[in-house]
Chain A
């Protein structure tokens, strides 16, 4: 099973809202990632969790807050977003933090109004 699940599939939120994106994998992977993807562009890395510890923060604004409650779950908490934050948010996991291929979830399409 190489499945990564993400909820919700679509999310529309106002600039004052607080919402969360969720990601889950049951492959025993020890690294999980959040990416942001704009239309017709490659994914941009936002956060990396390695063995449930945040290891890379690619200078992402503080209105994005990641959380890794356990080795299977990854959340992305959203607060006071801007319209330019509208994008596809992809979660991925890999067996380890280096070298291995990453498996992606279907993504959450976020629209900020």
Chain B
């Protein structure tokens, strides 16, 4: 069974600084997809970034980037120039067929 582990239940970052959220996963598949979702207190799950396992290049979306280490089965999210609006629960997810979510990391942004 595929599992997704987020080892940081809570993280805090100062506004304008950089923070990295960790995610590891376990799988025997070679082709799969990885995602980071953001869920603000308003509760809607929003897709932040996706990474295809067959791509060596790390995905980037504006201030959000990932460090994908396939051999280590690691998929961390880096948020640069953190903003107050980045405060949310962040879920790492793995997908071949059904989506598997990690337990989440609650990010607080301090002004």
Q: Please give, as numbers and ranges, the residues of chain B lying within 8 Å of A33 by CB-CB distance.
A: 99
Q: Please give, as numbers and ranges, the residues of chain A lying within 8 Å of B103 by CB-CB distance.
A: 41-42
User: Residues of B within 8 Å of A, CB-based: how many?
Assistant: 23
Contact with B along A25-42 (1 / 0, CB 8 A): 000000001000000111
Given known contacts A42-B91, A88-B43, A97 and B97 CB-to-CB distance under 8 angstroms: yes
13 contacts between A and B (CB under 8 A): A42-B101, A42-B103, A43-B45, A97-B97, A98-B95, A98-B96, A99-B32, A101-B95, A102-B99, A104-B44, A104-B46, A106-B42, A106-B43
Q: List chain A positions with a Cβ less than 8 A from chain B.
A: 33, 40-43, 45, 48, 56, 88, 90, 92, 97-107, 109
Q: List chain B positions with a Cβ less than 8 A from chain A.
A: 32-33, 35, 37, 42-47, 50, 89, 91, 95-99, 101-104, 106
